[in-house]
Amino acid sequence: MNRANDEIKTRRKFLKMVSASPLLAGPGFLAGSFSSLLAAGEATDKKFIGWLDSLEQSDGVITSPDQAFDVMDFEPAARKILPPAHFGYLSTGVDDDGTARANREGYSRIQIRARRLVDVENIDMSVNLFGTKWNSPIVLSPVSAQKAFHPEGEVAVARAARAKGHLMMLSTVATSSIEDVTAAAGTPVWQQLYPTNVWEVSRAIVKRAEAAGSPAIVLTVDLQEGSNRETLFRSQLVDKRECSACHQSAYTGFARGRPRAGTGGFAAYAARKPMLNGLDLSNVTAVQPPNMNWDFVKRLRDTVTVKLLIKGIVTREDAQLAVEHGVDGLMVSNHGGRAEETLRPTIESLPEVIEGVSGKIPVIVDGGIRRGTDVFKALAFGASAVGIGRPHAWGLAAFGQPGVEAVLEILRRELRTIMRQAGTISVDKITRNYIVGRSS
* Active site members: 335
**What is the secondary structure of 193-250 as a DSSP string?**
E---S-HHHHHHHHHHHHHTT-SEEEEE----TT---HHHHHHHHH--S--TTT---S
Quick one: 358 exposed, middle or buried, by C-beta within 10 A (0-12, 13-18, 19+)? exposed
DSSP-derived letter for residue 433 is: G
CA distances from 409 to 154, 158, 422 (A): 18, 15, 20
> How far, in Å, CA of 123 to CA of 257, rounded?
48
Distance of CA 205 to the CA centre of its chain: 23
Smallest Cα–Cα separation from 175: which of 89, 262, 61, 302? 89
CA distances from 226 to 38, 47, 340, 404, 405 (A): 55, 55, 9, 31, 35
Residue 122 CB neighbours (<10 A): 7
**What is the secondary structure of 124-182 as a DSSP string?**
B--EEETTEEES-SEEE---S-GGGT-TTHHHHHHHHHHHHT--BEE-TT-SS-HHHHH
Helices (H), 40-133: 45-58, 74-81, 84-91, 98-105
Residue 291 CB neighbours (<10 A): 8
Q: Quick check: 206 and 217 in contact, CB under 8 A? A: yes
Q: Quick check: 176 and 206 in contact, CB under 8 A? A: no
Q: Quick check: 268 and 262 in contact, CB under 8 A? A: yes
